[in-house]
Amino acid sequence: MDGEKLGILAGKGELPWIAVKNAIEMGEDPVVFLLTDDDPPEEFKSRCHKVVLTKFYSSVIKSLKKFQIKRIVSLGKIPKNIIYENPKFDLRTLLLLARMHNKNDYTVFLYLNDVLQKYGIEVLPQTQYLKNCFLEEGRYGKRLSSSQIEDIAFGMYYAMEVNRLDIGQCVIVGDKIVWAVECAEGTDECIRRGGKLFKKGGAIVCKVAKRDHDPRFDIPVIGITTLESMKESNCKVLAIETKGTIVVNKEKFLKKAKDYGITIISIKDNLTDKNKIKKINGSWLSIL
């Protein structure tokens, strides 16, 4: 929109900066509101302003109003310790938290969105300024064994159940046993824990989005650190949802997966259908 700045709420990771770059290329003039203490890329520092999430009214809302932001996109990981390690809340944020029936990520997002709407601020889908961030359906890497296909169907079922309960997005499986479930620690720690527990080696990582998920919030994200965690814990397969998982720096990601000997399976719909997974296993998409 002419003359209207875009706001980007930036958590940890590369995703906010990919969005900033793409937004500029699309003719936007983004302002970045930093939710963590991480240093921004030098080229974008002039666009950045620090805000404090636990002071949502007196810091975040105040800053958005100062720059007359009417549209925002929220990207990047927000560690839970922002809220639970020596937090400094403003009074209105404390009252907002007290009204929430739980403090799960999705609940918090919905309440914050309601506040933003009252100030005339629209939250945009997370993918609006992310180009080419999804993998097509297919197999990227070595052909799967029949037991790995069985484990993927098994794992995707449990990943969807865990996500339905708003616990996490990821499970680690092997020999039709769930070895780890993602909770507050995040995907990378879950992978390390589950992969190491599966002493046989070669565990499978299954990561999904919430059914009928809200595209503005908490779309699953994978990247190089995901692969590094898998390599460290000897996990050999990563199963994701084709249109429900953001891939950070897709080309670099696929090259690194090839280097590590990790197979990526991207599945569209019917995530637990073994026949469908077998069919995908029979296909192959180029790593580069």
pLDDT digits (tens, 9 = 90+) for 244-283: 899 999 999 999 999 999 999 999 999 999 999 999 998 7
Distance CA 276, CA 239 (A): 13
Residue 3 — very low, low, confident or very high, per pLDDT cuts 50/70/90? low
| 128 contact partners, CB below 8 Å, separation of at least 6 | 73
On whether both 184 and 273 belong to a single domain, the answer is yes
On whether both 117 and 161 belong to a single domain, the answer is no
Amino acid 270: pLDDT: 94
Assess if residue 1 is contained within a domain: no
On whether both 105 and 228 belong to a single domain, the answer is no
pLDDT digits (tens, 9 = 90+) for 46-59: 999 999 999 999 99
Amino acid 254: pLDDT: 96
On whether both 103 and 152 belong to a single domain, the answer is no
On whether both 250 and 154 belong to a single domain, the answer is yes
Give the CATH number for residue 207: 3.40.140.80
Last residue of a domain, one of 94, 123, 152: 123
Distance CA 246, CA 249 (A): 9
On whether both 189 and 215 belong to a single domain, the answer is yes
Query: Do residues 204 and 145 make contact, with C-beta atoms less than 8 angstroms apart?
Result: no
Domain tally for the chain?
A: 2
Distance CA 225, CA 77 (A): 13
Assess if residue 254 is contained within a domain: yes
Task: Provide the edge-to-edge strand list for the sheet that holds 6-10.
Answer: 48-50, 31-34, 6-10, 71-75, 122-123
Assess if residue 287 is contained within a domain: no
Mean pLDDT of 173-196: 95
Query: Which residue range(s) make up the domain with 221?
Result: 138-282
Query: Do residues 158 and 178 make contact, with C-beta atoms less than 8 angstroms apart?
Result: yes
Angle CA 159–211–162, to nearest 5: 25
pLDDT digits (tens, 9 = 90+) for 126-170: 999 997 899 999 999 999 999 999 999 999 999 999 998 888 999
pTM of the model: 0.88
